[in-house]
Amino acid sequence: MEFRFTTLGTASARPTSGRFPSAHILRVGGRSFLIDCGEGAQMLLAKNNISFARIDNIFISHLHGDHFLGLFGLLSTMELVGRVTPLHIYSPAGLQEIVETISRQLGKIKYELVFHTISCSEPTIIQSFKNLNIYAFPLNHRIETYGYLFKEKELPRNIIKEKIAEFGLTTEEIVALKRGEDVFRENSVLNSNSQPQILKVEELTYAYKPRSFAYCSDTMPFKRLSQWVEGADLLYHEATYGLDLADMAKKNGHSTASAAAQCAKEAGAGRLILGHYSSRYPNLELLLSEAREIFPQSYLSEEGAVFEIERACKHLRFAHKGK
Amino acid sequence: MEFRFTTLGTASARPTSGRFPSAHILRVGGRSFLIDCGEGAQMLLAKNNISFARIDNIFISHLHGDHFLGLFGLLSTMELVGRVTPLHIYSPAGLQEIVETISRQLGKIKYELVFHTISCSEPTIIQSFKNLNIYAFPLNHRIETYGYLFKEKELPRNIIKEKIAEFGLTTEEIVALKRGEDVFRENSVLNSNSQPQILKVEELTYAYKPRSFAYCSDTMPFKRLSQWVEGADLLYHEATYGLDLADMAKKNGHSTASAAAQCAKEAGAGRLILGHYSSRYPNLELLLSEAREIFPQSYLSEEGAVFEIERACKHLRFAHKGK
């Protein structure tokens, strides 16, 4: 099952000729989650061959223009191409009124819009799918702002195929092992030894580590954030400024690349993706090098960049290559 | 004085990966007029090095999303870069409510927004500058829609410089000639002939032909339109479809490239610029060739294309190269 993050727009409030405002796609097992929807998002989706039809859930971090002004055009185009399935929109309070005011002008949207108003003071599950939980958590910006955490659910263990023949496993034994229970075999046809036999879960099965992605934009650094995104395989964290403009970061409620890296380090994240760059940085190498000094697994987002989170086994001793 | 039209966005309702929704700049003598402001307009302005600071007047043809959804981001960025001068917005009724709803969310805009609600049934002057009149006129679309005509005012005539010495013109004579009045000289120091002398306006002066640009999007063809844009040096006319989709053009309240060309022909326009292309036409050559069959001076707009209207003298006999 894929778990793929694509950065579409990397600009902060003032877009530049090459950078669009915030918009991102997280693709998990056939679903595309649109995370923030800055102006131009629909053009960037088209440019990156991302189908609108797979987007049923849109997550808006906060109601600054560079994070939601692409929504109206996208909703309108979805109507135009004949969408019928409901569309869920998650955001702080206030968005519904804006969308409804504009929709009155743009003409009725025939598919259902389901607004989910986020309001929480700590990580809270806001949506759950078969394999995935989605959490919102508050950020520390100038206005009410939320981050989002996408976390695979714990999956049943898998039997290492060769072990089935080797041990002549029965269906009941397989079910028990997949549940994580060791199997105790007394003397039987299956067990020709004189001693009872124990079939150990950790020797006959493997399990994938649930993958997770956390999105943190826009925010000033704060202590609990690294706990809330602890262990994220991929952490997107805004990095509007470098250390040269640390004062401005504080004044405007933003983070430096170093602060983003510090958060990734404390969270024990797998990789850090930087984004939401100030137009003052035509060249981003400074931001990257400042982040890498603290957290070497830091990377720059750019329009159209793709970051895959591969499946990894929990027990490396029985590492098994995923599909 | 420059008179330059730049096409920024050429898509119709559904943008494609390479085409943005409608946005155009007409630059006349230091002023930049933004005509329609589809999503992404501010990025296209930046990309084409067009300063926001020169835009004091924005003309919205109608309230379909692909013609105004870029407005909010632009207004917001103007605020961000410290705009203080008032901004005039011309549009059919309804836009002010939308802008004010969104502005409440985006934060107060400190510069003054002056809304001009257009409502007319025939060409009407909606703004006048020293050298320019701007007219609105109704189009024939699915909702209330206006076209705009930018027309230079008749300028005073200029004296052909060499004639001043040749005829020893006095200040009074120059003033009269510039007003378009022939000068009658009796016998005098200046006139050593025995006969009275007539200094003819058309021999001693030249005048520039007032230039004009007309914008027609979106519209179905209708009879009076070509009269309203008669003699436009440059006519922008939507050409959403080719003849293969003439039925769809009619159904959706749009024009084919052929209909645009027919309008240009009947208007006696200088050049025709096609735009507002349906996403069904990845290749636009069909539209261009259908237009040129009827009106050879037809051209395709594209993102960033520039069309200059050069100054031309009224009296070719005394053609004088403008600055």
CB contact (8 A) between residue A73 and residue B65? yes
User: What are B's interface residues with A at a Cβ cutoff of 8 A?
Assistant: 13-18, 20-21, 39-40, 42-43, 46-47, 63-66, 69-70, 72-73, 76-77, 80-81, 94, 97-98, 101-102, 105-106
Most A CBs within 10 Å: which of B8, B43, B49, as the mutation test of the A interface? B43
**CA-to-CA dists, residue B102 to A108, A159, B57, B95, B323, angstroms:** 19, 55, 20, 11, 44
Q: Which of B66, B73, B101 sits opposite A69 (nearest CB)?
A: B73
Rounded Cα gap, residues B50 and B42, in angstroms: 9
Give pLDDT, residue B195: 73
Cα dist from B230 to B239, B297, B314, whole Å: 19, 15, 17
Q: What share of chain B is helix, strand, coil (3-state, %, to 5)?
A: 30, 30, 40
What mean pLDDT value characterizes chain B? 92
Q: Tell me the nearest-neighbour CA distance from B71 into chain A, angstroms.
A: 10
Tell me, yes or no, whether B182 lies in a domain.
yes
Chain A residues within an 8 Å CB radius of B108: none
User: Chains A and B: how many Cβ contacts under 8 Å?
Assistant: 95
In a domain, B17, yes or no: yes
Instruction: Note whether residue B269 is domain-resident.
Output: yes
- Same domain for A32 and A117: yes
User: Is the CB of B70 less than 8 angstroms away from the CB of A43?
Assistant: no
Please give the pLDDT value at position B68.
97
Terminal CA-to-CA distance of chain A, rounded, Å?
A: 8
Residues from chain B contacting residue A280 (CB–CB below 8 Å): none
**B148 with B285, same domain?**
yes
Residue A124's closest CA among A114, A138, A145? A138
Q: Strand A234-238 relative to strand A271-275: parallel, antiparallel, unpaired?
A: parallel
Higher-confidence residue of B108 and B224: namely B224
Our CA dihedral for A63, A67, A72, A78, rounded to 10 degrees, sits at -130
Residue B323 lies in a domain: no
Residue B258 near residue B293, CB atoms below 8 Å: yes
Contact partners, residue B283, CB within 8 Å, separation at least 6? none
Higher pLDDT, A321 or B235: B235
Q: Which long-range contacts (CB under 8 A, 24 or more apart) does A81-86 make?
A: A81/A52, A81/B14, A83/A52, A83/A53, A83/A110, A83/A111, A84/A110, A84/A111, A85/A56, A85/A111, A86/A56, A86/A111, A86/A112, A86/A113, A86/A114
Q: How many CA atoms within 13 Å lie on the side-chain side of A109?
A: 25
What's the token pair of residue B285?
A: 């050559």
* Closest in A73, A80, A97 to B69, CB measured: A73
Do the Cβ atoms of B101 and A101 come within 8 Å? yes
In which band, very low, low, confident or very high, does the pLDDT at B212 lie, cut at 50, 70 and 90? very high
Question: Residue A23's closest CA among A229, A258, A236?
Answer: A236
Clarify whether residues A147 and A219 are in a common domain. yes
- By the 8 A CB rule, do B43 and B167 touch? no
B63 contacts A72? CB cut-off 8 A:
no
Assess whether B228 and B193 both reside in one domain. Answer: no
In a domain, A170, yes or no: yes
Do B8 and B93 share a domain, yes or no?
Answer: yes
Sheet strands (E) in chain B: 3-9, 23-28, 31-37, 55-59, 87-91, 113-117, 124-128, 132-138, 146-152, 158-159, 183-185, 197-199, 205-206, 212-216, 234-238, 271-275, 298-300, 305-308
Q: What distance in Å separates the CA atoms of residue B126 and residue B149, rounded to the nearest whole number?
A: 10
Question: Which residue out of A42, A48, A105 would a mutagenesis test of the B interface target, given it has the greatest number of B Cβ atoms within 10 Å?
Answer: A105
* Phi, psi dihedral angles at A263 (to 5 degrees): -65, -45
CB–CB of B106 and A13 under 8 A?
no
Identify the three-state secondary structure at position B237.
Answer: strand
DSSP string across A67-92: HHTTHHHHHHHHHHTT--S-EEEEES
Smallest CA-to-CA distance from B21 within B71, B56, B84, B90 is with: B71
Structural domains of chain A, count: 2
Give me A78's structure tokens.
Answer: 């979805």
* Same domain as B219, residue B184: no
Set A36, A66, A218, A233: catalytic member: A66
Q: Contact A39/B73, CB-based, under 8 Å?
A: yes
- The answer to whether residues A91 and A20 belong to one domain is yes
Kindly state whether residues A185 and A47 are assigned to the same domain: no
Instruction: In whole angstroms, give the CA distance from residue A30 to residue A316.
Output: 27
Q: Specify if A322 maps to a domain.
A: no
Instruction: Looking at the structure, tell me whether residues B188 and B221 fall in a common domain.
Output: no
For residue B204, give the DSSP letter.
H
Residue B138, pLDDT above cutoff 70: yes
Q: Is residue B318 scored above 60 in pLDDT? A: no
Bridging pattern class, strands B3-9 and B23-28: antiparallel
The pTM of this model reads 0.88
pLDDT of residue B111: 96
pLDDT tens figures, B91-129: 999 999 999 888 887 778 899 999 999 999 999 999 999
**CATH of residue B135:** 3.60.15.10
CB pair distance less than 8 Å for B43 and A63:
no
Residue A41: inside a domain:
yes
Mean pLDDT of B218-222: 98
Tokens of A71: 């929504």
Nearest CA in chain A to B45: A17
Residue B236 near residue B301 (C-beta atoms within 8 A): yes
Residue A317: its pLDDT value, please?
A: 45
**Which of B172, B207, B242 is the last residue before a domain boundary?**
B207
Structure tokens at B79: 């605020």
Query: What pLDDT sits at residue A103?
Result: 85
The domain boundary residue, chosen from B143, B176, B207: B207
Q: Quote the pLDDT of residue B187.
A: 65
pLDDT of B243 higher than 90: yes
From residue B67, alpha-carbon distances to A264, B61, B94, B257, B279 in Å are: 42, 7, 14, 19, 16
For residues B144 and B266, state if they share a domain. Answer: yes
Between CA A266 and CA B290 the distance in angstroms is 64
Given this model, what pLDDT does residue A139 score? 98
Single-letter residue type at A299: Y
Q: How far is CA A102 from CA A307, B69, B170, in A?
A: 34, 10, 64
A35: tokens are: 């995370």
Chain B residues in contact with A15 (beta carbon < 8 A): 42-43, 46, 73, 77
B63 located within any domain? yes
Q: Which domain holds residue B249?
A: 3-152+210-313
* Pairwise CB contact (< 8 Å): A17 & B42: no
Contact B70, B36 (CB under 8 A): no
Q: Which helix (H) or strand (E) holds B156?
A: none
A120 and A227 inside one domain: yes
Q: What is the pLDDT of residue A313?
A: 81
Asked if A77 lies within 8 A of B101 by C-beta distance, the reply is no
Residues of A with CB under 8 A from a CB of B: 13-18, 20-21, 39-40, 42-43, 46-47, 63-66, 69-70, 72-73, 76-77, 80-81, 94, 97-98, 101-102, 105-106
β-strands B212-216, B183-185: how paired?
unpaired
List per-residue pLDDT tens for chain A, 323 residues long. Answer: 899 999 999 999 888 878 999 999 999 999 999 999 999 999 999 999 999 999 999 999 999 999 999 999 999 999 999 999 999 999 999 999 999 888 887 778 899 999 999 999 999 999 999 999 999 999 999 999 999 999 999 888 899 999 999 999 999 999 999 988 999 987 666 666 667 789 999 899 998 999 999 999 999 999 999 999 999 999 999 999 999 999 999 999 999 999 999 999 999 999 999 999 999 999 999 999 999 999 999 999 999 999 999 998 875 444 444 43
Residue B125 shares a structural domain with residue B236: yes
CA of B59 to nearest chain A CA: how many angstroms apart? 17
Distance from CA of B165 to the nearest CA of A (A): 53
Helix (H, G, I), strand (E, B) or coil at A271: strand
Q: How many CB atoms lie within 10 A of CB B251?
A: 11
Q: What is the pLDDT of residues B163-190, one digit of tens each?
A: 999 999 999 999 999 988 999 987 666 6
| 3-state DSSP percent of chain A in helix, strand and coil, to 5 | 30, 30, 45
Q: With cut-offs at 50, 70 and 90, classify the pLDDT of residue B232.
A: very high
From the list A151, A182, A158, A300, the residue with the least C-alpha distance to A239 is A300
Largest Cα–Cα separation, chain A: 82
What local confidence, expressed as pLDDT, does residue A112 receive? 96
